[in-house]
Amino acid sequence: MTLVGYAVLVGIPVISTAWVELLGFTEEQVGRVAGADLGGLSLGAVVASLLVGRMNRRLLVLISVVIVIVSNGLCMVYVDYQTVLWLRVGAGIGSGIYTAVAVATLGGSSKPARAYNLMLFAFAFSQALEMQVLPMLPMNGIYLAFIGCYVLGLPFLRWIPARPLDRSLEVDLEIEEEGGRHRVVHRHVPAWVPWLVLAAIFFTYINIGAYWTYIELATIDAGIDNAYVGRLLVWTSFFSLVGCAVATVISNRFGLARPLLLALFAMAGVVGMLAFGINDMNILISMFSFNLLWIFVDVYQMSTVANVDHSGAFASLMPGAQGLGQIVGPNIAATQLAAGLGYSSLFLMCAAAAATGLVIYGAMYVWLRRSIPALAEAT
């Protein structure tokens, strides 16, 4: 379900190009439409977060699938910019509800970090498949592919737990007493901790949303061979596999927080370097590193929320924070391009957004080290 729910987010570089080449949208309009789709995803996730702990999750999924099918179906009929803009909001709302339920259910497992890592491992294959298949399809074929994926999941709806088993916001702390004995105590986690993580996710996805929406168009503008960029989009997807394996090993040894801080620092660097010019070599380095670090950031961010939220309320908001970042990022980028500032300013904005996420996590990590060290060093 997460692979299907995030399909538009992952396929944005190809879909953006299709909107330009097949529907005649301008670069600015592409940013608006992509932002509408992913902003709808954010809104859908917010709706799901309010209902996921009280309403039957299977019914939520069914409602979301109907919304997605109707919205994508209408996009095959209406192709003008204004209508498509609002239909993509509807499609995003449906996918946001769908994805939020899936993410919350994964977060409710006994080992959420492993669950998210396995999900992202599968992402590498689905992302590569999208990059390979979607460019070969007409616009209506892309919409039909999305509809088909949602329909295929319906026979397995009964596998989704109807309701969460636990509604707590707490962690277990191991306390060493005199004589070397250890005991485990429960510690309540303030609600602002997951909210702060969600804020950091929002800023990191401003970066991801703008970069991923415009990376193919930016390389075309720089005169890079389009076939070369297309191959990079496919093969860099598989580089995510390395990210999954390395993320697990590093987390088991160093926890979630410190690797996340390092990943965000590196992310700011690999997107910011494109502000000084794009060529065959630095776009290769940037795209491969971006996919590797994207996995790192997602695994560590999502696992941090899941470690303290067993009800799914905050976990279901993660697609919302991602989607909100995805609407803000492309829209800021669209405004910069419309103002004639060029792609250099776009990539500097991406680097600044990643750096903001780094500052938020850094401040939170310092507080947790003093107050809840078990959470600060959680794996």
Residue 203 has pLDDT above 90, yes or no: yes
Question: Angle at CA 216, nearest 5°, toward 9 and 123?
Answer: 35
Between 170 and 188, the higher pLDDT residue: 188
Residue 142 and residue 130: Cα distance in Å, rounded?
10
Residue 5 and residue 306: Cα distance in Å, rounded?
19
The candidate with the shortest Cα–Cα distance to 145, out of 204, 215, 91, is 91
Burial readout 347-372 (b: 16 or more C-beta within 10 A, e: otherwise): bbbbbebbbbbbebbeebbeebeeeb
Backbone torsion region of residue 319, taken as left when φ is above 0, otherwise alpha when ψ lies between -120 and 50, otherwise beta: alpha
- What is residue 52's three-state secondary structure? coil
The candidate with the shortest Cα–Cα distance to 113, out of 222, 260, 325, is 260
Best-predicted range by mean pLDDT (57-71, 167-181, 198-212, 320-334) = 57-71
In percent, how much of the chain has pLDDT > 70? 87
72 CB-contact burial (10 Å; exposed 0-12 / middle 13-18 / buried 19+): buried
pLDDT interval class at 152 (50, 70, 90): very high
pLDDT interval class at 302 (50, 70, 90): confident
Taking residues 170-183, report their average pLDDT. Answer: 54
pLDDT of residue 236: 72
Residue 99 and residue 94: Cα distance in Å, rounded?
9
The answer to which of 44-58, 120-134, 278-292 has the lowest mean pLDDT is 120-134
Burial readout 199-230 (b: 16 or more C-beta within 10 A, e: otherwise): bbbbbbbbbbbbbbbbbbbbbeeeebeeeebb
Residue 258 and residue 270: Cα distance in Å, rounded?
19
Residue 300 has pLDDT above 80, yes or no: no
The candidate with the shortest Cα–Cα distance to 34, out of 70, 73, 1, 81, is 81
pLDDT of residue 62: 95
pLDDT digits (tens, 9 = 90+) for 14-38: 888 888 888 888 877 887 888 788 7
Cβ 38 vs Cβ 90: under 8 Å: no
pTM strictly above 0.85:
no
pLDDT of residue 209: 85
Tell me the CA distances in angstroms from 118 to 8, 196, 254, 314, one per residue in order: 20, 25, 19, 20
